[in-house]
Amino acid sequence: MLFRSKFASELKSDPRSSLAEIGNAAYIDFRMSTIPTSGAKDRQQIVDLVVAALQRKPRDYFQFAEGLGMMLESLGDGEMAAIAYEKFGDILSKNLDENIRAAGDTFKNISFRRARLLCGDPLKIAGKALDGKPFDVNQYKGKVVVIDYWATWCGPCRAELKNLAAIYEKYHDRGFEIVGVSIDDNHDDLTNFLKENKLPWKIINSSVPKGKEFEHPLADQYGIMGIPTLYVLNREGKVISLTARGPQLTALVDNLMTGQGGVNGAGQSVQ
């Protein structure tokens, strides 16, 4: 690892601009790999490195910016992720290219909003459930809640339902709830699936055109880009994870339900 860092540092000082840029990208990539074990000061420095690179070559470093934000979110560092998204968005939203400007607006608004959930901003999930009754996640305050963004056409989503069902059966009577946000584009597909697969928790669905599934308003507001995506809320209604799935989700809910708090992606205790 030291060799990798030294090589990248030397290459980014090369007088040949093309090689220097390769070295700079390699150096940023190396620094990003250290984020899981780095502190707040080092993370801020890495954000600043990407900011400087975006100012020079936004197209070349957009993926670095996106990856850095998502990495910070997965580690539970919503504060630094929000700072990063705001800075990245400020740069890109002023670009002459329409697509780059749009990406900047997404960073400044949707991505920033999602990251702020980890800082205590309230999650807003409301709509009409499939039983026809209005639903608001606030009615589950005082319970541990998992929000499951899914669809019947998504194989990994259907696999995760088995894990969710096991957790629900184990803890529902002790104050655990699940809310399914279906982004199915065909309401009949959803209702037929649920006839064969009885899910005992609330399901919200709002029909969207085929190919526009991720424009479902409840998915779009937080920039859901892939499913299954599961958000975990503690009994105070605070989001403590945006990425947990499978065994990690089970362990997180186990800790919350047994009164041991939880551990977010950064390894920090959360209550």
Q: pLDDT tens digits, residue range 107-163?
A: 999 999 999 999 999 999 999 898 889 999 999 999 999 999 999 999 999 999 999
Q: What pLDDT does 251 receive?
A: 96
Q: What pLDDT does 260 receive?
A: 64
Residues of the chain with pLDDT under 50: 262-271
**Residue range 29-45, pLDDT digits in tens:** 999 999 999 999 999 99
Q: What pLDDT does 185 receive?
A: 84
| Portion of the chain with pLDDT greater than 90, in percent | 74
Q: What pLDDT does 210 receive?
A: 66
In Å, what is the CA distance from 78 to each residue of 40, 81, 235, 248, 265? 12, 5, 19, 19, 11
